[in-house]
Structure 1
Amino acid sequence: MAAATRPSAESGRDGLRAAFSGLTTRGRSFLAAGIAAAVCAYVLGQGDLLRVGLLLAVLPLICAVALHRTQDRVTGSRRLSPVRVPAGAEARVQLRMNNVSRLPTGLLMLQDRVPYVLGPRPRFVLDRVEAGGRREVSYRVRSDLRGRYPLGPLQLRLTDPFGLVELTRSFRDFDTLTVIPRTEPLPPVRLTGESSGYGDGRQRSLALAGDDDVIPRGYRHGDDLRRVHWRSTARYGELMVRREEQPQRSRATVLLDTRRVAFRGAGPDSAFEWAVSAAASTLVHLLERGFSVRLLTDTGDTVGGEGSGGYSSGGSESAEAAGLMMDTLAVVGHSDGAGLSRACDAVRGGNEGLLIAFFGDLDDAQADLAAKMRQRSGAAVAFVLDSAQWSGEGRAPSGGPDEERLRRLRETGWTAVAASPGVSFAELWRHAGNAPADRGTSGGWG
């Protein structure tokens, strides 16, 4: 919400000059007629005509000074609710005008500046506002295109009751509406090689008899040293910790390919926009199931949280991380990079967790890099988009590049699914969960 602010106005001589420049055609006519009448009255020696001329000349000047003082006494505020909406949803903008002066205002005309993608520019006409009174108006905005859109500044136009002066001033405050990608609910499916949101991601049996029956695991950076299992440490020659005392949030990386060369076309129905929306749906789905999640792009940039490896943490930090990732997806665009090497380095920097990738067109070199990502990941699911299909250039022939890159990914352990236009992401997600397990890895709910 924008705090109540006053319009920006010049002070002193500059402010009065601006006020006098706001004379309307009627006001200028009154001023010219009054001066002419005063000159004629002086020449002819007509006192009554002189008084009439002075009245006609002074009235617009009095209105200009009074309006100049009044406009500094009108404050305004804007309330945007909500500040973050999915594409296609509406947000409500409420405007409030307050007259803090001791004099009533004349006619008020409001106009709020909004980008054209949010709809027509809203305009309102308000009757006079009494001293100490206020008026409220509202309008709605929506966009089918994700992004961040500024609202403002609010423009206020005041006129005096005689229509002699018209002043326009702008408020200083802006608000920003963030339009995030559309998301769709995903079914809970078993994705190959990964456990549910909490735990170590491996099947285990925890004993309750005592330390001798505890199944330890290797020490990880960040583990509490008070939980070191010294007997197992002496046995294995390396630090071991009690596994049942170290519940870990399973990690997941959502990789979004943003290379310009990997996608064709533009607009809400393009392949790239589908990939962005699907990545957003995946992030929300995994966070709801307790995963520590991070968003990764082909440029190597990571968005998630302040936890180890850039993953989101639990509790309120997960909500903040979700908002940060959705804000990033709201403005993400094509990168100028031609390869996935930076993303590969970022993925191979860790040796655990679920990897879900959204790829555009892959040549042989990029398919090899994708294979390297799978080598150290707990599980990998790839949704591959063929730009030729999405841009209306037809489907790749059977056995052509489309099938070849899918086969290559599957051979290296990926669960690879072709994302075709017209198929909902929920269906593809369910299909990925029904894919046969690779390399005998255990399943988990994703």
Structure 2
Amino acid sequence: MISESAEANEFRESPSHTRWVTDDQPATLREKVHLGFLTARGWGLFSAGVLALVLAFLMGRRELLAISLFLILTPLLAAFLLRFGNSALRITRSFNPQQATTGSSVRVRLHISAAGRGPATIQLSDTLPEDFGPGPEFVYPSRTATQGPEGSESFYEYRLRPAMRGIYAIGPVRARVSDVFGLAARPAAVDSASALLAVPVCEDLDPLGIPGEHGAHGQASSNRRLTPDSFEVMTREYHPGDTVRRIHWPATAKKGTLMVRQEDYRATPRAVLVLDRSRAAFLGQGVGSEPVLSIPQFTAPAGESSRSFEWGLHAALGIGAFLANTGFGIDLIDHRGKAINGISASGTEDAAELFTGPHARTRMQQALAALSLEDAVDPRHASTTATLATSLKERMRERGDRLVLILGEITESQADTWLEVVGVRSKVTVLCVANHEKRLAPVIARFRQAGWAAVAVNPKTSLAHAWADLGRAS
């Protein structure tokens, strides 16, 4: 499972500036009370000291008392010094590739060095999440250890294959540290955990046109053409919190005050993708309900998902990547109107930005990697509905804009609510995911009566097949 290597430049450093990097996990009770542990040799010495102490009292021999105190205190002193000693090991963990893709392998490399002469042979093991089983074990220094400017250096590597998306905590490396005489030993975390991001796979869709847009050939068009001289209608005054990258310098020079580009005025249309995250739609209760899937969140509690929600997320990623490739700016939100990039633990810092350009697919993969179902049901349904309606109204102001709804198993009344929230729009695409899609026939009929392209699928349906069905339903 572990291979040794001496090539140092093959791997990139794992990121340390991302949102999901948090403080170390709280220390266990054993670590809080600072207890060392005696080895078999140490316990033997301690037991011999206790026996000698008893004999000293029974026999009245003072020299035996001194010997007993020496035997008792020596292993205790070794454990005390071991607890407050510092590890001489320095560990760097890196991944190749830097982000894993579900179902694909990633190599983990450990670079371990020790300043100066370094410790004697020591047994180490890397800590892995439960999904991967027990962590790999190895011995430091390795057989191919080299002497570098900072002391002895060893390289180890192994492979992981994450089956589920999320943020995995890899590490820390643990060692059983002992004193020189082997009287005391204790497990110790030599470094801290590193975050391994596993992103979902993105499926490429055939360029057969956009469902719901008659006569389209895979190319998005815009009804608004901007010119370099139109900054007066595409700018606004600077507000605290606006990024410096949006400052429009020609407008600033003309107005005499800081002006920024207005997001609502754009040369390309916007596609709003709404991904339903409600627990009721994807995690039904009772007999035959779907099993709950765990989404790793690094050191935070794992999020929850289901097969239906995983299919919906997969569809959102594939459709979003397709629309971004055809010229749309992708605005990915949840069923409450919140930006996915802002609520996901793996979202990037520019949460308010659209997914556009050649890196739109990669950024959407990262934003969706740690997304899970909502934590709790919000009882204020009316207020959240109004919030969603306002959010959609603010996001969709151009005639070329499109709306894609990816919903779970909803009722007819909930379908009417979506019709009310969205309003009269001709370019709306709906995908409803359920284990028994035939139950959604009345819901799909309601959407189609409103002129929407709507299809019901189950988690076993291929996205390409659902995409083709949407094209025929439009």
- TM class by shorter-chain length? 0.5 to 0.7
Give 1:153 shift.
3.1
Report the equivalent of 1:383: 431
Matched, 1:85 2:100: yes
Aligned-residue RMSD, C-alpha: 4.8
Query: For structure 1, which runs of at least 5 residues remain unmatched after alignment?
Result: 9-14, 205-213, 228-245, 390-394, 397-401, 437-446
> What are the within-5 Å matches in structure 2 for residues 191-210 of structure 1?
191=210, 192-193=212-213, 199-200=221-222
Matched, 1:407 2:445: yes
Give 1:255 shift.
0.9
Deviating more after overlay: 365-374 vs 348-357:
365-374
Taking the aligned partners of 1:252 and 1:2, their CA distance within structure 2 comes to 31
SS in 1 for 2:38: coil
SS in 1 for 2:93: strand
Q: Would the aligned equivalents of 1:259 and 1:336 in 2 still touch at CA under 8 Å?
A: yes
For residues 177-227 of structure 1, the C-alpha deviation after alignment (integer angstroms, 9 at most, x for no partner) is 23333332111121233785664159x9xxxxxxxxx9x99x964498989
Amino acid aligned to 2:377: D
> What are the within-5 Å matches in structure 2 for residues 312-323 of structure 1?
312=354, 314-315=356-357, 318=360, 321-322=363-364
Amino acid aligned to 1:358: I
Taking the aligned partners of 2:154 and 2:356, their CA distance within structure 1 comes to 44
SS in 1 for 2:410: coil
Change over 3 Å in CA distance of 1:316–1:336 after alignment to 2: same
Whichever of the two has the greater Rg, that structure is 1
Report the equivalent of 1:363: 411
Deviating more after overlay: 363-372 vs 315-324:
315-324
Taking the aligned partners of 2:352 and 2:425, their CA distance within structure 1 comes to 16
SS in 2 for 1:381: strand
Change over 3 Å in CA distance of 1:2–1:35 after alignment to 2: farther
Taking the aligned partners of 1:320 and 1:386, their CA distance within structure 2 comes to 28
Counterpart selection for 1:149 from 159, 165, 168: 168
Larger helix proportion of the pair: 1
Taking the aligned partners of 1:103 and 1:89, their CA distance within structure 2 comes to 37
Q: Would the aligned equivalents of 2:415 and 2:446 in 1 still touch at CA under 8 Å?
A: yes
Change over 3 Å in CA distance of 1:101–1:53 after alignment to 2: farther
Taking the aligned partners of 2:235 and 2:15, their CA distance within structure 1 comes to 42
For residues 88-125 of structure 1, the C-alpha deviation after alignment (integer angstroms, 9 at most, x for no partner) is 3333322232211334423233242x321x31131413
Taking the aligned partners of 1:271 and 1:68, their CA distance within structure 2 comes to 50
Give 1:128 shift.
5.1
Report the equivalent of 2:278: 259
Matched, 1:346 2:346: no
Report the equivalent of 2:311: 274
Report the equivalent of 1:11: none
Q: Would the aligned equivalents of 1:293 and 1:311 in 2 still touch at CA under 8 Å?
A: no
Change over 3 Å in CA distance of 1:172–1:99 after alignment to 2: closer
SS in 2 for 1:187: coil
Identity of aligned residues (%): 22
Taking the aligned partners of 1:180 and 1:137, their CA distance within structure 2 comes to 25
Matched, 1:105 2:130: no
Report the equivalent of 2:45: 30
Amino acid aligned to 1:266: P
Q: Would the aligned equivalents of 2:412 and 2:442 in 1 still touch at CA under 8 Å?
A: no
Report the equivalent of 1:126: 139
SS in 1 for 2:436: helix
Matched, 1:336 2:336: no
Taking the aligned partners of 1:154 and 1:39, their CA distance within structure 2 comes to 42
Give 1:313 shift.
5.9
> What are the within-5 Å matches in structure 2 for residues 202-281 of structure 1?
221-222=234-235, 248-263=267-282, 264=284, 265-267=290-292, 270-281=307-318
Taking the aligned partners of 1:61 and 1:106, their CA distance within structure 2 comes to 23
Matched, 1:325 2:367: yes
Q: Would the aligned equivalents of 1:156 and 1:169 in 2 still touch at CA under 8 Å?
A: yes
Amino acid aligned to 2:222: D
For residues 267-290 of structure 1, the C-alpha deviation after alignment (integer angstroms, 9 at most, x for no partner) is 567222211221122222323333
Taking the aligned partners of 1:267 and 1:182, their CA distance within structure 2 comes to 20
Change over 3 Å in CA distance of 1:283–1:386 after alignment to 2: same
Count of residues paired in the alignment: 383
Q: Would the aligned equivalents of 1:278 and 1:425 in 2 still touch at CA under 8 Å?
A: yes
Amino acid aligned to 1:122: G
Q: Would the aligned equivalents of 2:88 and 2:118 in 1 still touch at CA under 8 Å?
A: no
Matched, 1:286 2:331: no
For residues 233-283 of structure 1, the C-alpha deviation after alignment (integer angstroms, 9 at most, x for no partner) is xxxxxxxxxxxxx97122111111122222332356722221122112222
For residues 120-179 of structure 1, the C-alpha deviation after alignment (integer angstroms, 9 at most, x for no partner) is 131413155788212232333343333333233332212357643323222452222233
Counterpart selection for 1:423 from 439, 461, 465: 461
Change over 3 Å in CA distance of 1:85–1:120 after alignment to 2: same
Report the equivalent of 1:243: none
SS in 1 for 2:312: helix
Taking the aligned partners of 1:88 and 1:176, their CA distance within structure 2 comes to 18
Change over 3 Å in CA distance of 1:274–1:56 after alignment to 2: same
TM-score between the two structures when normalised by the length of structure 2: 0.64
Taking the aligned partners of 2:366 and 2:201, their CA distance within structure 1 comes to 16
Report the equivalent of 1:296: 333
Q: Would the aligned equivalents of 1:259 and 1:298 in 2 still touch at CA under 8 Å?
A: yes
Q: Would the aligned equivalents of 1:360 and 1:387 in 2 still touch at CA under 8 Å?
A: no
Taking the aligned partners of 1:371 and 1:40, their CA distance within structure 2 comes to 90
Query: For structure 2, which runs of at least 5 residues remain unmatched after alignment?
Result: 1-13, 17-23, 26-30, 237-247, 252-264, 285-289, 294-305, 343-347
SS in 2 for 1:428: helix
Matched, 1:166 2:185: yes
SS in 1 for 2:321: helix
Report the equivalent of 1:236: none
TM-score between the two structures when normalised by the length of structure 1: 0.68
Taking the aligned partners of 2:407 and 2:372, their CA distance within structure 1 comes to 18
Change over 3 Å in CA distance of 1:100–1:379 after alignment to 2: same
SS in 1 for 2:460: coil
Counterpart selection for 1:177 from 196, 203, 218: 196
Q: Would the aligned equivalents of 1:157 and 1:168 in 2 still touch at CA under 8 Å?
A: yes
Change over 3 Å in CA distance of 1:410–1:54 after alignment to 2: closer
Taking the aligned partners of 1:309 and 1:121, their CA distance within structure 2 comes to 36
Taking the aligned partners of 1:155 and 1:254, their CA distance within structure 2 comes to 44
Report the equivalent of 2:287: none
Change over 3 Å in CA distance of 1:281–1:405 after alignment to 2: same
Give 1:383 shift.
0.9
Taking the aligned partners of 2:153 and 2:85, their CA distance within structure 1 comes to 14
Deviating more after overlay: 410-419 vs 119-128:
119-128
